[in-house]
Amino acid sequence: MTPSAASYRVISSHRDQIEVAPPGARILGSNPHCPLSMLAMGDHFLGIQGHPEFTPEYSATLMNSRRGSVIAAEVVDAGLASLSEAPDTGMLALWIAAFLGQGEE
């Protein structure tokens, strides 16, 4: 991925996630909460389990709207605290665009 980075921040908000990589998948990103955070299948499929399209403001509004009903209040509080560092939205957009442009001449 260009630009190269040892890590990336992406907003994650999910109850379900892929836990076993399909045969032939390349794991491109992982973390303790989501071991298959980003993976690719050949040059045609890129999967990101986080939400590069979410802004911190949107995520905060979504979490607060689910406080105490879908998401426990303490989980919402931890999620809101995690939004203090900006996600790498611009870099992820570049990565996605570069991946989608592979093979074009």
Residue 10 included in any domain: no
* Closest CA relative to residue 85, chosen from 10, 28, 19: 10
Give residue 84's pLDDT.
94
Domain count, the chain: 1
Residue 52 included in any domain: yes
Give residue 65's pLDDT.
96
Question: Distance (Å, rounded) from C-alpha 54 to C-alpha 47?
Answer: 16
Q: How many CB atoms lie within 10 A of CB 41?
A: 14
Assess contact for 56 and 40: CB atoms under 8 A.
no
Residue 78 included in any domain: yes
Question: Distance (Å, rounded) from C-alpha 67 to C-alpha 93?
Answer: 30
Query: Which residue type occupies 48?
Result: I
* Closest CA relative to residue 30, chosen from 19, 44, 22, 41: 19
Q: Please list the pLDDT of the chain residue by residue as tens digits (105 residues).
A: 778 899 999 998 877 888 899 999 999 999 888 899 999 998 889 999 999 999 999 999 999 999 999 999 999 999 999 999 999 999 999 999 988 886 454
Residue 36 included in any domain: yes
What is the extent of the structural domain holding 68? Answer: 25-97
Residue 60 included in any domain: yes
Residue 3 included in any domain: no
Residue 104 included in any domain: no
Residue 40 included in any domain: yes
Q: What is the pTM of this model?
A: 0.81
